[in-house]
Amino acid sequence: MFSAIFFLSVTTLAIAQPKLPAPSPGAEVMQTVGLTDVKVVYSSPAVKGRTIWGGLEKYGKVWRAGANTPTKISFSNDVKINGKNIKKGDYVLMLDLKDANNWEWMLATKGSAFGFKEADVLVRTKATVTKGLRNRERLTYYISAGTNGKGTVNLRWEKIEASFSFTSDIKGPLMASVKKFAGQANWFNLGNTGYQVVLNSDKEKDLKLAKGMIDASVAMGGENMINTWWKAELMAKMGKKKEAYTLGKKVKELYAKEKRNGWKNFYKNTIDPSLSKGMKAWK
């Protein structure tokens, strides 16, 4: 009887535990870089008046770059870090605090709050460390998205920020999306997709695919100043500058006949700045 009552009491207490504020609450941040979603999931400890760097987080040790469970980072597409190709997926993110001025970021396939195996580390890259910033009470991650698939992961805590850079794959996901999309679009969407290939790839097979889409755009919507401009830019990318120049002149002729205000504005704001610069190089 006593055992049964004790068991029920313990079970009831376990179920009835109140939800209390966590000393290091969980957090996550996500940013799209190029065509890749990058997410960091971590726990966020506070300074609480303590010496963090070289104190709470001692030098000469590998740190989980957060609190509680290991910090995780995920990529929806392949990326490159420090020259090494990293496949899309989830990874453990750590910081090797070698000394006050020498830190390395580490990505591993697995690890725990108690340690890791060097064999599981996929890449190490030197941390860019910025000191003397305004105090940040809670550890915070943020991800910066640059151009051409370039991005930066940043950790900010106390008066220091540590970051590392990566590049995300654009051409692979772009071409996969293009192939899936082709044949399902109207003249503008199909031709514009081909034009995006022109802007993002130099490969001959990709440019041939772009030509097929832009030609299909002309067949579907008729020749107009927009798809003629796309074709001019494509010809230039393929090294056919004479053809590009001839098509550029035709774009200007089509614009002169255009009566729709929306299209005329599109020409002035989008087509003309690119076309005028291009035709000087194609002449």
Reported as a single tens digit per residue, the pLDDT across 70-123 is: 999 999 999 999 999 999 999 999 999 999 999 999 999 988 777 789 999 999
Q: What is the pLDDT of residue 111?
A: 83
**140 strand-pairing partners:** 156
Q: Indicate whether 162 and 195 sit together in one domain.
A: no
Q: Indicate whether 97 and 177 sit together in one domain.
A: no
**168 strand-pairing partners:** 79
Q: Of 105, 133, 168, which residue constitutes the final position of a domain?
A: 168
The structural domain count of the chain equals: 2
Q: Indicate whether 141 and 175 sit together in one domain.
A: no
Domain span holding position 255: 171-282
Q: Indicate whether 193 and 276 sit together in one domain.
A: yes
51-55 long-range CB contacts below 8 Å, 24 or more apart? 52/157, 52/158, 52/160, 53/97, 53/100, 53/158, 53/160, 54/100
Residue 61 backbone phi and psi in degrees, to 5: -135, 155
The pLDDT tens digits of the residues spanning 156-176 come to: 999 999 999 999 988 888 777
**85 strand-pairing partners:** 80
- Residue 18 identity: P
Q: Measured between alpha carbons, how far is residue 31 from residues 84, 156, 211, 266 in Å?
A: 21, 16, 32, 30
Q: Mean pLDDT over residues 209-226, rounded?
A: 91
Q: Indicate whether 152 and 208 sit together in one domain.
A: no
Instruction: Name the band, by pLDDT with cuts 50, 70 and 90, for residue 186.
Output: confident
Arithmetic mean of pLDDT over the chain: 90
The rounded percent of the chain whose pLDDT value lies above 70 is: 90
Asked if the structure places residue 249 within a domain, the reply is: yes
Q: Of 168, 196, 218, which residue constitutes the final position of a domain?
A: 168
Q: Of 153, 168, 183, which residue constitutes the final position of a domain?
A: 168
Q: What is the pLDDT of residue 236?
A: 94
Q: How many DSSP H helices and E strands does the chain contain?
A: 8, 11
- Name the more confident of 179 and 48: 48
SS3 190: helix
Asked if the structure places residue 139 within a domain, the reply is: yes
Q: Mean pLDDT over residues 224-233, rounded?
A: 95
Asked if the structure places residue 5 within a domain, the reply is: no
**157 strand-pairing partners:** 160
Asked if the structure places residue 261 within a domain, the reply is: yes
Residue whose C-alpha is closest to residue 80's, from 33, 115, 45: 33
Asked if the structure places residue 65 within a domain, the reply is: yes
Q: Indicate whether 114 and 49 sit together in one domain.
A: yes
Q: What is the pLDDT of residue 262?
A: 93
The token pair at 183 is 């044949």
Q: Mind giving me the DSSP string for 2-53? A: HHHHHHHHHHHHHHTPPP---SS-EEEEEEEETTEEEEEEEE--B-TT--TB
Q: Mean pLDDT over residues 47-73, rounded?
A: 95
Q: Indicate whether 193 and 115 sit together in one domain.
A: no
Q: What is the pLDDT of residue 8?
A: 47
**Which positions ≥6 away from 61 have C-beta within 8 Å?**
96, 97
Instruction: Name the band, by pLDDT with cuts 50, 70 and 90, for residue 19.
Output: low
Q: Indicate whether 156 and 274 sit together in one domain.
A: no
Asked if the structure places residue 200 within a domain, the reply is: yes
Q: Indicate whether 49 and 159 sit together in one domain.
A: yes
Contact in structure between 212 and 194 (CB atoms under 8 Å): yes
Asked if the structure places residue 3 within a domain, the reply is: no
Q: Measured between alpha carbons, how far is residue 200 from residues 190, 197, 213, 234 in Å?
A: 16, 5, 15, 11
Residue whose C-alpha is closest to residue 79's, from 94, 90, 70: 90
Tell me how far apart the alpha carbons of residues 60 and 83 are, in angstroms, rounded to a whole number.
25
> Is beta strand 71-75 parallel, antiparallel or unpaired with respect to 128-145?
unpaired
Q: Indicate whether 131 and 271 sit together in one domain.
A: no
**120 strand-pairing partners:** none
Asked if the structure places residue 10 within a domain, the reply is: no
Q: Indicate whether 149 and 231 sit together in one domain.
A: no
The token pair at 243 is 């053809």
Q: Indicate whether 176 and 73 sit together in one domain.
A: no
Rounded to 5°, angle at Cα 225 from 224 and 229:
120
Tell me how far apart the alpha carbons of residues 93 and 119 are, in angstroms, rounded to a whole number.
15
